[in-house]
Structure formats: structure tokens, C-alpha cells
Amino acid sequence: MLMHNPPHPGEIIKALCLEPLGLSVTETAKALGVSRKTLSNIINGKASISPEMAVRLSIAFNTSSESWLNQQTQYDLWQAEQHRKDLDVTPLFAT
């Protein structure tokens, strides 16, 4: 079952990881070993969490990489479902 309009994982990073720890984007990016721009794009919902970023986040925040990828997948799938009616697909099942 799809979650109703799940947040982008970047929102989760900001609200549950950076803000409670009083971390800046610059500090966090440095700790993750990525550029500030990369992390900023994720936090602002302009980029997705890759498998490598999921591993980096899991190490930095003692979480599971699977949870980060699952959040991204749920977000992406919900977004795609919003355009289901616009897809030009022919059903291939017996009626």
C-alpha cells in the first residue's frame, strides 16, 4: 500500500537528522564526504538518494541504508502514480 503523499527523504534528513543535532548543511556534507551542493540538492528535493548516499547516511546517522532507499522509492512511486492517467500504455492481460 502506498503512503499518502510521502515526504521527500531530504525533508526527513533535515527535520530528523540535521535540526535535532544542530548541524549545518556544510558540516553534514563534509561528514558525509560529499559536496555541500549535493546534500543541499537532496535536502531541497531536487535530487534523489542514491544507494551510495543511503550507505553514507546509514553510517553517519546509525540508521539502515534500506530505510533511506525505501523512503526514496515510496516518494518516487507516489509521484509517478500521480501521472498514471497520462501514460500511454496498452493493457496486456486477458479480460
Instruction: Say how far residue 8 (Cα) sits from the centre of its chain.
Output: 5
| Assigned domain for 34 exists | yes
Model confidence at 14: pLDDT above 60: yes
Instruction: With cut-offs at 50, 70 and 90, classify the pLDDT of residue 1.
Output: low
φ/ψ of 20, rounded to 5, equals -65, -30
pLDDT at 68: 98
pLDDT, one tens digit per residue, over 54-87 is: 999 999 999 999 999 999 999 999 999 999 999 9
Q: Is residue 26 part of a domain?
A: yes
- Terminus-to-terminus CA distance in the chain, angstroms? 24
Instruction: Decide if 90 is inside a domain.
Output: no
- Report how many domains make up the chain: 1
pTM value is 0.90
